């Protein structure tokens, strides 16, 4: 009877969080679905009736769709490769005995706490400005012609900025995972004469595989929806218009809500494909 009672109390305690999240998910999602089947132009005639799958077809057949997919994949892929590789190396370095480990850790993690608009603007102006930026000074120092980063090498620039923001996250998680590695196993391998590269590929990397998977999945979900970094640097110009940015422009800038909503549904489906894999890992961990 006590359990019966505590169960209903428990249900009551969960109710506010569950109801709020249910509303937060269902209401906007239903509205997005509803708009995606309509020709809806708030500033030019409003609701112009049902159009079936017209918006879905128009969104993918518009000339800006494939470039946006390409931009999205380039940014996500580029940042993932950089942050995971450098993250593993950095985590291994930070795991070594050294003086001032705590301070170095703080230095490495700091970029993660910088708000996206600040890091984008600081990079854009103080580092990537073709006249006064620090990189331009550096280029001139070595006798090279300064680069107009955000217009000539726009994709590289965005990937650099976002990688700088996310490297700390990858490093921190991989460092946590490395620290749980049994050091006796490594020492035994060393005693048996296994060279460093072999130790890395046969002991360290397999041990990190789960953490790397988690880093990739979580970062993918966040990277698919980066916004501020593009908003304040290129504004979607020079080939940096990602899917997220394209939808934002359709919805708020050109106020073509039907079309933008269809794009939104695509974005939701895309994110869910990634999310399913992440949820499996997290779910397994819950049972343990």
Partner 1 sequence: MARAVTSRRKTLNTALAWAVGLLIFFPILWTILTSFKTEAQAIASPPLFLNFDWTLENYAIVQERSDYMRFLWNSVIIAGGSTILGVIIAVPAAWAMAFVPSKRTKDILLWMLSTKMLPAVGVLYPIYLLFIQLGLLDTRGGLVVVLMLINLPIIVWMLYTYFREIPGEILEAARMDGATLKEEILYVLTPMAVPGIASTVLLNFILAWNEAFWTLNLTAVDAAPLTAFIASYSSPEGLFFAKLSAASTMAIAPILILGWFSQKQLVRGLTFGAVK
- Phi, psi torsion values for 133, nearest 5 degrees: -65, 155
The reply on whether position 205 binds partner 1 by CB under 8 A is no
| Binding piece for partner 1, criterion CB under 8 A, among 49-57, 151-159, 187-195, 217-225 | 217-225
The reply on whether position 153 binds partner 1 by CB under 8 A is no
SS3 225: coil
CB of 96 to partner 1, least distance (A): 4
| Binding piece for partner 1, criterion CB under 8 A, among 46-54, 59-67, 73-81, 245-253 | 245-253
Comparing CA positions, the residue from 127, 235, 226, 105 lying closest to residue 171 is: 105
Q: Is the Cα torsion angle 55, 57, 61, 67 positive or negative in sign?
A: positive
The reply on whether position 271 binds partner 1 by CB under 8 A is yes
Separation between Cα atoms, residue 218 and residue 123, nearest integer Å: 24
CB of 175 to partner 1, least distance (A): 9
Tell me, what DSSP letter sits at residue 97?
-
The reply on whether position 254 binds partner 1 by CB under 8 A is no
Specify which residues 46 forms β-bridges with: 41
**Binding residues for partner 1, how many (CB under 8 A)?**
103
Residue with tokens 């940014």: 75
The reply on whether position 62 binds partner 1 by CB under 8 A is no
| Binding piece for partner 1, criterion CB under 8 A, among 72-80, 150-158, 198-206, 259-267 | 259-267
Give whichever of 67 and 116 is closer to partner 1, judged by the CB atom. 116
Separation between Cα atoms, residue 230 and residue 232, nearest integer Å: 6
- Is 219 in contact with 168 (CB distance < 8 Å)? no
Tell me, what DSSP letter sits at residue 181?
S
The reply on whether position 231 binds partner 1 by CB under 8 A is yes
The reply on whether position 64 binds partner 1 by CB under 8 A is no
Instruction: Lay out the site mask for partner 1 across 18-57 (x = CB under 8 A, - = otherwise).
Output: x-xx--xx-xxx-xx--x----------------------
């Amino acid at each position: 009877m006590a359990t019966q009672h505590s169960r209903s109390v428990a249900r009551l305690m969960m109710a506010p969080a569950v109801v709020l999240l249910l509303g937060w998910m269902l209401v906007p999602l239903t509205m997005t679905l509803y708009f995606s089947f309509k020709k809806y132009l708030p500033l030019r005639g409003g609701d112009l009736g049902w159009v079936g799958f017209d918006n879905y077809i128009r969104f993918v057949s518009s000339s800006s769709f494939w470039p946006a997919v390409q931009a999205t994949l380039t940014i996500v892929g580029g940042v993932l490769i950089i942050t995971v590789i450098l993250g593993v190396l950095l985590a291994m370095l930070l795991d070594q005995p050294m003086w001032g480990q705590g301070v170095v850790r703080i230095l490495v993690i700091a970029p993660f706490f910088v708000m996206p608009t600040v890091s984008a603007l600081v990079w854009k102006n103080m580092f990537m400005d073709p006249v006064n930026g620090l990189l331009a000074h550096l280029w001139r120092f070595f006798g090279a012609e300064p680069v107009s980063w955000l217009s000539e090498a726009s994709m590289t620039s965005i990937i650099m900025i976002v990688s700088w923001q996310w490297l700390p996250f990858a490093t921190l998680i991989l460092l946590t995972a490395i620290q749980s590695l049994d050091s006796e196993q490594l020492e035994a391998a060393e005693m048996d004469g296994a060279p460093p590269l072999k130790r890395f590929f046969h002991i360290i990397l397999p041990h990190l595989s789960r953490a790397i998977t988690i880093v990739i999945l979580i970062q993918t979900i966040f990277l698919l929806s980066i916004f501020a970094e593009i908003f304040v640097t290129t504004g979607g110009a020079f080939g940096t218009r990602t899917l997220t940015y394209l939808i934002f422009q359709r919805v708020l800038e050109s106020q073509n809500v039907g079309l933008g909503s269809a794009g939104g549904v695509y974005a939701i489906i895309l994110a869910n494909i990634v999310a399913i894999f992440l949820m499996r890992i997290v779910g397994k961990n819950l049972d343990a």
